Structures are given as C-alpha cells and as structure tokens.
A = this chain, B = another copy of it.
Amino acid sequence: MVTYIFGHKSPDTDTITSSIVMANLERELGNEDAKAYRLGNINKETEYILNYLDIEAPELIESVEDDAEVILVDHNSPSESAENIENAKITKVVDHHKIAFNTAHPLFARLEPVGSTQTILYKLYKENDVEITKEIASLMLSAIISDTLLLKSPTTTEDDKKALKELAEIAELDYETYGLDMLKAGTDLSDFSIEEILALDAKQIDFKDVKSIVNQVNTASIEDVLEMKDELEKGIEEIIEREGLDLFMLLITDIVNSNSQVLVLGNAADLVEKAYGVKLEDNTALLEGVVSRKKQVVPIMTENA
C-alpha cells in the first residue's frame, strides 16, 4: 500500500521539495511504497528549481482514500491538507508550523520552530545516516532560501544557517547567486490571472473568530504589483463574498528590502490597523520589516483579535 507524502495546498518550494526529500528518506529507510504527491499547482519559484535540477514535479492529487497511509510535511492543519484527510491514517509529520490537528493514535511527529521544513529533514538524514546526495542537498537548500528569504526573514534560526552552509558545499552551489535568481523567478506574475495571483499562496487562518485569508506574493518591486491594485481589490471582494470572510490580507513582500505592503479588505480591516499601529489609506499600508506571515502576522493578529 502506497504511503502518500505531501505538503500543504497552494504548494510552495518548501512543501514540494520536502515531499520529494521525505519520500526519498522513507525509501532509503526501507519503506519502498513511499511516494511524493502535491495538492496544487507548482509556483514559478519551484518551477525554476525543478527545471534547474531537472527533477519532475510530484504527481497531483486532491484527496486521499479512507484509511490511506499518509505522511504530512510542511503542514499539519486539516484545512491546508488533502480532502478526506480526517479519514486517513497519519503516521508521520515533519513540520515547522504551530500544531493545528489532533490524532486518534500515537504517531511520529517531528516539529521544530525553524525557518524551513528542510532544516528538520536535513537533521533526520544525518540522524539516520542516510546520504545527502548533491540533488537532495540542492532541494533542501532551495527550500531554506525560499522560506527564509536568503536567511533574512525573522523566522531564520541558527539551525537554518548551519544547514544551508553545509548543504551549499554538498550541492557545490554559490547559494547567494542561485538564491536571488530563484527568488526573482518566483516574483514573476506575468502568466497569472488576478484570480490565480490571489490563490497562489493563500492560507485560511482564523484570528480567533475573525474568519480570514492571508495571501502573500513576493516581488522585487511593490510598485509593479500595485499597478494591479484595482483588479486585485475587485478579486478580493469576490473571494470575501464567496467564502464569507471577515478579512482578506494580501501581503506584497519586497524580497530585496524586506518590507511588505499590505492590501486589506473586509469588515475586520481595522484589526490590521490596531495590530500594526498603521492607518490604511485606500485599503493599503506599508508594514516595515514584515516579511513572515507565520512570525509577524499570525501571532500579532491573533493577539489583537
């Protein structure tokens, strides 16, 4: 019976590469039926990485069957997981997010508050004496660069830095040059419709009882993205109506200068003003130094809700 390994919906680089790297680890440790899957489309950044390394994307699935054996990477919340996950058997979790699920059985769970899931997988390879090949090292370091914005995000830990440096040697890559190219590839929005941009990295996160979606797009130029402001607002209003949301936050994150412009709509928009001490003008404000949804949005918004 196959062991399904996948990350979250609206997959990013950490989710996609972690599913591949975890599947490899499982197979190396004797679970021959371990296979990586994905729950959504590959983004531009991940596409750049997979092309660069000449690796195929994992197979797309939407749901899992009853009693399917599942390993979750880079997420644990059922709302970000496959359809029917409630009826699957989760045997392992490797993740760096807060705990947002319960289980009926004891399981193997390895969660650490580090920048990237791959930093944990890097440790698991070492602990289990499994070889980190050049290809695996490249996948691991790509995700660390992606999640920490080249070690600049406040989510970055000493463990991430140490892992990235060791992995760069194995991968024989100048990680700063490669990393900036990779991140820039991820900011290319030209192929996407407004609807697609608003779904690219959208996470449903309820701040207490404020039903919200927080989406994040990286860019090398906030101005370029704000040229689409009217269309983005129209699209967001449709999502708020359709999903019955109180709040939609679009974080437009400047990966070069490490700030985010936030575009906010919904009845609870003033929660953003309260949480960050800013005044929204035309639904938008600059959040200085904010680049991490997990570390600089979720706790602060939850606290103020």
Contacts and interface: CB of A to CB of B under 8 A. Distances in A.
Contacts of A106: 96-98, 111-113, 294
Interface string A245-279: 00000000000000000000000000000000000
Contacts of A101: 99, 102
A108 interface: yes
Interface string A102-123: 1111111111110000000000
Interface string A44-67: 000000000000000000000000
Contacts of A294: 106
A128 to B, nearest CB: 11
A234 to B, nearest CB: 33
A127 interface: yes
A103 B107 contact: no
A113 B111 CA distance: 15
A66 to B, nearest CB: 13
Q: How large is the interface on A (under 10, 10 to 19, 20 to 34, 35 or more residues)?
A: 20 to 34
Contacts of A109: 99, 109-112
Specify how many copies of this chain sit in the oligomer: 2
A112 B108 contact: yes
A302 B108 CA distance: 21
A1 interface: no
A105 B98 contact: yes
A299 B104 contact: yes
A185 to B, nearest CB: 27
A228 interface: no
Contacts of A112: 106, 108-109
Contacts of A113: 105-108
Contacts of A104: 98, 298-299, 302
A99 B110 contact: no
Nearest to A90: B99
A102 B105 contact: no
A101 B102 CA distance: 7
14 contacts: A98-B102, A98-B105, A98-B106, A98-B107, A99-B103, A99-B107, A101-B102, A102-B102, A105-B299, A106-B111, A107-B113, A109-B111, A110-B110, A110-B111
Interface of A: 96-113, 127, 294, 298-299, 302
Given A99-B103, A102-B102, 16 more contacts: A98-B102, A98-B104, A98-B107, A99-B102, A100-B102, A104-B298, A105-B299, A106-B111, A106-B112, A106-B113, A107-B113, A108-B111, A109-B110, A109-B111, A110-B110, A127-B127
